[in-house]
C-alpha cells in the first residue's frame, strides 16, 4: 500500500544551514544517518481507503485547501527534544507556528479524514501538534543527552523563514506541491524545475518590494522592515 505525507519543504539557504547543523551533530556525537531533508510535518500519513479513486480526490483537496491560504511566516524557537523511550529519542528545532499554519493543518485533516486513514497519535486532535524540524532521531538516552549538550553551545538558526511550498509525497517521492508565492499547484516536474524556482524567487522579490521603506525617524517600523527584508534575502540566497 502506498504511503503519503504532507509537509512544509524548507528551501534556499535555510535548507543548507539546517543540513550543516545536522552533519555537525552527527560528526561531533558520532551518529549515522541518511541525507537530511529539512521539513516540517503537517499530516503524517493520510492513507486513502480506496487508493485508485481517492488519490485523485486527495490531490484535488490538497490543492484546493492550500490555495485558500496566504504566504505564511515561520519562527524558529530554539533547540529541543522529544523524550527517549526505547531508543527513539529525537533532537529537533522547535517551530513557533503561526495561526494560519495551524488552521491549514486542521483544514487538511478535517477534509481528508472522510476518505483517508490518519495517524491516530499525531493527527487525531487539533491541539496535539508540535511542529519541528528533526536534527537527529532514534537516539538512546545517552546519545540524546550528548546531542542536546552539544546543541546548547551552537548558534541557533536564523529566526524567520517563509513557507514557500507545501509538499504532498507518495512513497517518499514528490507527488504534488503548492507554491504560495506563485499561488498555484505544481506537478513533480514543475516543482523540481530550476526555471520555476527562479519564478518563485522573482515573486519573493516583488513581495518584498511592496513593503515601503519607512521614514528614518521611525525606528520601530524600520526595524520590522529590515527584519522582513533580511528574512526574504536569506531565503533566495544560495
Backbone angles phi, psi at 175, to 5 degrees: -105, -45
> Does the domain made of 4-193 have the CATH classification 1.10.10.10?
no
| pLDDT of res. 230 | 59
> Which residue stretches of the chain are H helix?
12-29, 51-66, 99-112, 141-151, 188-191, 194-209, 219-236
Q: Which residues contact 197 (CB under 8 A, 6 or more apart)?
A: none
Task: Give the residues of the chain that fall short of pLDDT 50.
Answer: 213-221, 223
Q: What is the DSSP track for 8-51?
A: EEP-HHHHHHHHHHHHHHHHHHT---S----EEEEES--EESSH
Ranges of each domain in the chain:
4-193
Q: In this predicted structure, what is the pLDDT of residue 102?
A: 93
Q: How much is the pTM?
A: 0.83
Q: Give the residues across from 73 on adjacent strands.
A: 162
- In whole numbers, what is the pLDDT of the chain averaged over residues? 86
Amino acid at each position: 500500500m502506498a504511503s503519503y505525507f504532507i509537509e512544509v519543504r524548507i528551501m534556499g539557504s535555510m535548507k543548507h544551514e539546517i543540513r550543516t547543523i545536522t552533519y555537525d551533530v552527527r560528526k561531533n556525537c558520532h551518529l549515522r544517518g541518511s541525507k537530511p531533508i529539512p521539513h516540517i510535518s503537517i499530516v503524517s500519513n493520510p492513507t486513502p481507503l480506496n487508493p485508485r479513486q481517492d488519490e485523485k480526490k486527495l490531490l484535488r483537496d490538497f490543492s484546493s485547501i492550500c490555495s485558500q491560504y496566504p504566504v505564511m511566516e515561520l519562527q524558529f524557537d530554539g533547540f529541543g527534544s522529544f523524550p527517549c523511550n526505547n531508543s527513539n529519542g529525537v533532537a529537533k528545532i522547535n517551530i513557533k507556528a503561526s495561526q494560519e499554519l495551524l488552521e491549514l493543518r486542521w483544514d487538511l485533516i478535517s477534509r481528508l479524514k472522510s476518505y483517508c486513514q490518519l495517524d491516530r497519535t499525531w493527527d487525531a486532535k487539533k491541539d496535539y501538534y508540535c511542529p519541528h524540524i528533526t536534527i537527529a532521531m532514534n537516539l538512546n538516552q545517552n546519545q540524546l543527552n550528548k546531542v542536546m549538550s552539544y546543541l546548547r553551545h551552537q548558534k541557533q538558526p536564523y529566526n524567520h523563514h517563509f513557507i514557500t511550498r507545501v509538499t504532498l509525497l507518495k512513497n517518499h517521492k514528490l507527488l504534488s506541491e503548492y507554491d504560495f508565492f506563485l499561488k498555484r499547484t505544481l506537478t513533480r516536474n514543475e516543482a523540481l524545475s530550476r526555471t520555476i524556482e527562479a519564478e518563485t524567487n522573482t515573486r519573493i522579490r516583488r513581495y518584498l518590494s511592496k513593503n515601503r521603506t519607512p521614514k528614518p525617524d521611525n525606528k520601530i517600523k524600520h526595524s520590522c522592515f529590515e527584519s522582513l527584508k533580511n528574512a526574504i534575502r536569506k531565503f533566495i540566497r544560495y
